[in-house]
Structure 1
Amino acid sequence: MKILMRADTHVSYSVPAEGTKANFTFSQVLAALSVSLCSLVVGFVSAYTSPALVSMTDRTITSFEVTKDAGSWVGGIMPLAALAGGITGGPLIEYLGRRNTILATAVPFIVSSLLIACAVNVIMILCGRFLTGFCVGIASLSLPVYLGETLQPEVRGTLGLLPTALGNIGILVCYVAGSFMNWSILAFLGAALPVPFLILMIIIPETPRWFVNRGQEERARKALKWLRGKEADVEPELKDLMQSQAEADSQATRNTCLELFKRINLKPLSISLGLMFFQQFSGINAVIFYTVQIFKDAGSTIDSNLCTIIVGIVNFFATFMGIILIDRLGRKILLYVSDIAMILTLSILGGFFYCKAHGPDVSHLGWLPLSCFVIYILGFSLGFGPIPWLMMGEILPAKIRGPAASVVTAFNWFCTFVVTKTFQDLTVAMGPHGAFWLFGVVCIVGLFFVIIYVPETRGKSLEEIERKMMGRVPISAVVNIKPFSFNM
């Protein structure tokens, strides 16, 4: 049961519904695990070039020449293809459905890896990487939307971080396997990974919200029964879904592009875009992509390849910490901790490289870059890594969720491309210390963005979030700092 006072009182009280009780049902865990296995594939193929390029450019292993320029495109073409996939994915999840869109990426993932594994020239590798990136772009927006629409509010944070956790496992598997496999064998391994995900995705249902959007009430009821358990009373939740859909339909226009830029929709869209901007311009992909080179430049006494594996392990365990904490502390607290950790470590890294270039001597501090990297990755993986994707599936209004998620995902991959391609130029123009300090300044701005604009969504249904994001309750920056409130 809900008790809501008038919006102009700026106060709301809620009493938990007497309907479906939230718990970790086997069905919800299976649904989350199934789509998260897709994220494992995404993590593996995203990390592929880091170990693969070493053997790919070795003429004693590869029968054809891969020049330095071609090698840069093998790594750089994926973000561009993912941008295209992000743009395409929005319409696909609206017309095919969330589940079918995710399922449709499985076979192309297999084909793209086989194309790379069997390559006899660079063109085949580039085609395989483009197809891989295109699927990654589609998956990036489909996974959080599916989980946001199927999981109950009380477990959405915990299970919603499973894709990030399995994505990090995929990265770690690629790093470890790449240390003793050549690029071709590693690609064959990549072709095998989508098979379990393909099988499990056939079992799980489409999201109830998509069925409601299509006017298929009975199929929505069946999907809810499957997700919540046969004994669960899903009628209150189904009624809430239909009421929310009716409200959205009454305010909608036929032109989807116009819908995106309506004033009531701009707020959640802007918040999601802002989170993606600060996620990427924290420098994470530049740091990960150039990990080995950064450690060499720092004169670290620790083996650079071992450093890469250590960073991958930290990334993996940090995400599991986030899974444990996100529904206890809330999204905003983790974002605060994440941002502060990145600000401190980027500042120290900048100071280290400044001293290395201009004095005093810091050669005896070879352990410092790795320590900062570990804390930086830990901070990022706790908050700014997974939460922007999780919140994208939570705060975007149902009526524009497909096209809006498409815009947000494409923007994320555009930022990824810009950061990774300009990082080396930045280090030449400003020095490594200047680049790290610049990323640190962006993180400081991001901290204030989170404090002032980002809402707390912990424990809220998508319907509650959407109604409050429509501006019926004004935002209070002071109250919004608290992890338990959602006053907008």
Structure 2
Amino acid sequence: MNIENTAKQENPRESPELEEPKPKNPPKIQENIRSEPTEAPIRVTDQPENEPKIICTFSQLFTATAVSLLSLVIGYATAYSSPSDASLRKEFYLGNSEMSLIGGLMPLSAVFGVLMGGFLIEYCGRKGTMFVIDITFLISWLIIYYSSNLYQLYVSRCLVGGGIGVATLALPVYLVETIQPEVRGILGLLPMTFGNIGIFVCFVYGIFVNWRNLALIGLVLTLPFLIFFIWIIPETPAWYIAHDKLGKCKKALVWLRGENQDVTKELNDLIRKNNEQKSRETNISLLFKTPNLKPLIIVLGLMFFQQFSGINAVIFYTTSIFRASGSNMSASICTTIIGAVNLISSFIANGLIDRLGRRVLLQLSSILMTLGLGCLGFYYYVKEILLIDVSEYGFLPLTNLIIFVAGFSIGFGPIPWLMMGELVPVEVKSIVVSIVTSINWACTFVITLTFLCVAQMFGYFAIFWFFCCMVLTGGVLTWLVVPETRGTGISDIARPRSRFLRSTAHSKPFPSTNM
């Protein structure tokens, strides 16, 4: 009886305790649900680890891929002088000075292309500018295909260089203005990947066809982008806003972000930022203010060391480098292998860019390039200065160039371009992009024009050791100065620099499972 009584007494006590929380909790849950529509944007940003970020839409992936087709043409045009070297020398009886000029005219013209690029992307739009670039490439390939003298080749390479110069402005701006920051790392590397595909395709076909048919293949490669341009890819929402086309801006945002996404907040942010930009004066004096000067110096340094790593000398003159190595291996086959390594490394970079971050990849890139260039210089020193027969070790130039190119492709190749869009403050971005890109192409011109002549005067070992020292210096300065920018949105880039640097310290890579 006592047990039953105690049971009866415990049950009434337990039931109120169990029932009391039930009527209290549901109202709280309902209140949260009711208040969620008005507070949803804040909750998503306040709890990034609990709330999933917006995943990459098919439209953004498709747009980035379509635009990258133009980069494929650029890569093909960049690599053209290497596989066409032997057939051009034979056809027009060219020496090193003429081949250096064919290679050097392209980056020299790119400097002027950059100066025109700012005007074109502003008044013709990002999309319209890319159309002009593609048509320029088509015309240049036609000129090469029907060339009967050396001067026509010069004109063609000048047109190619001008188009590439404009493209180095238009493509990054287009991608930054259309792709969400969560996937900007991996999708932002697509143009670099497609560019490397273009280089590889050019090297492969260079084994089988001469300079004229290589130009014909380049012409065919310009056509797919025109199809995507005419029917599919949109103009950037930011450009529409800047030109008071609100309806088209909203339509482009809905297409890029998905019909199920509410683009009102992003649209309002674009309007606000555009108004702020109009209210600010953009002039050269802003570059020398403390918040803007440091990112300018960082980006300039990255671009300088990118080019003085010697990568374009290797890409432009791969065949000549292997011929001078004394190796028994086919120069054309080795050139194609380098193109394949360049391409594969780009895919590796795509997978690592948002996992390891920009700084880690830059430092890893510097280590690999230093190793490859140092050993390559030592090989040529033994051959050219010590006059030792190195034919038994003919595989070493290929091995070292593989290490060098792989290192470049995962770090110093794509990341300086990516960080230029992420690091530079909005109010000076147009000026900085023009200055930095012009200097980049000017450095490329110096390297490509002088490489063969310097190698002939001082030896290949000297120039490769020079590149090695530059890469080592760049790696040390990267470790000391360059901040991490992965996962940083455009709104963070527009902040004062102290707040921006603090925000990047806590940024996390975009989860690969969401892709």
CA distance in 2, matches of 1:126, 1:260: 36
- Answer whether contact 2:72 2:195 (CA < 8 A) is retained: yes
Distance verdict in 2 for CA 1:103–1:393, change over 3 Å: farther
- Residue matched to 1:8: none
CA distance in 1, matches of 2:246, 2:307: 40
Give the drift of 1:291: 2.2
Give the drift of 1:242: 3.1
1:108 aligns with 2:132: no
- Residue matched to 2:21: none
CA distance in 2, matches of 1:94, 1:33: 23
- Amino acid in structure 2 at the alignment position of 1:231: N
Provide, for residues 240-284 of structure 1, a one-character-per-residue CA deviation record: whole Å limited to 9, x for no partner.
33333344444x21x533344444332222222111101001111
Give the drift of 1:444: 1.8
- Answer whether contact 1:39 1:167 (CA < 8 A) is retained: yes
Counterpart pick for 1:228 among 248, 254, 257: 257
Distance verdict in 2 for CA 1:18–1:98, change over 3 Å: farther
Distance verdict in 2 for CA 1:440–1:453, change over 3 Å: same
Aligned positions of 1:451-462 closer than 5 A: 451-462=479-490
Which range moved further: 387-396 or 26-35?
387-396
- Answer whether contact 2:104 2:446 (CA < 8 A) is retained: no
- Residue matched to 2:193: 165
- Answer whether contact 1:109 1:132 (CA < 8 A) is retained: yes
Unaligned runs of 5+ in 2: 1-40, 510-515
- Answer whether contact 2:103 2:316 (CA < 8 A) is retained: no
- Residue matched to 2:220: 192
Counterpart pick for 1:443 among 454, 464, 471: 471
Aligned positions of 1:17-56 closer than 5 A: 21-56=53-88
Larger Rg: 2
Give the drift of 1:77: 1.1
1:58 aligns with 2:90: yes
- Answer whether contact 2:488 2:507 (CA < 8 A) is retained: no
- Residue matched to 1:353: 380
CA distance in 2, matches of 1:92, 1:260: 22
Identity %: 46
Give the drift of 1:159: 0.9
Aligned length: 466
Counterpart pick for 1:141 among 157, 165, 169: 169
1:285 aligns with 2:285: no
CA distance in 2, matches of 1:72, 1:423: 8
Counterpart pick for 2:334 among 285, 307, 310: 307
Question: Any idea what SS the aligned residue of 2:200 has?
Answer: helix
Unaligned runs of 5+ in 1: 4-12
Provide, for residues 140-194 of structure 1, a one-character-per-residue CA deviation record: whole Å limited to 9, x for no partner.
1211111111111121111111111111111111111122222222212211211
Provide, for residues 384-431 of structure 1, a one-character-per-residue CA deviation record: whole Å limited to 9, x for no partner.
111111222222333433332222111111011111223334435553
- Residue matched to 1:405: 433
Counterpart pick for 1:80 among 87, 100, 108: 108
- Residue matched to 2:401: 373
- Answer whether contact 2:100 2:450 (CA < 8 A) is retained: no
Distance verdict in 2 for CA 1:414–1:481, change over 3 Å: farther
- Answer whether contact 2:114 2:168 (CA < 8 A) is retained: yes
Aligned positions of 1:242-261 closer than 5 A: 242-250=271-279, 252-253=280-281, 256-261=283-288
- Amino acid in structure 2 at the alignment position of 1:397: P
- Answer whether contact 1:332 1:481 (CA < 8 A) is retained: no
Provide, for residues 184-243 of structure 1, a one-character-per-residue CA deviation record: whole Å limited to 9, x for no partner.
222122112111111212321111222233343333222211110111111222233333
Aligned positions of 1:310-325 closer than 5 A: 310-325=337-352
- Answer whether contact 1:334 1:383 (CA < 8 A) is retained: yes
Question: Any idea what SS the aligned residue of 2:90 has?
Answer: coil
Question: Any idea what SS the aligned residue of 2:337 has?
Answer: helix
CA distance in 1, matches of 2:85, 2:465: 29
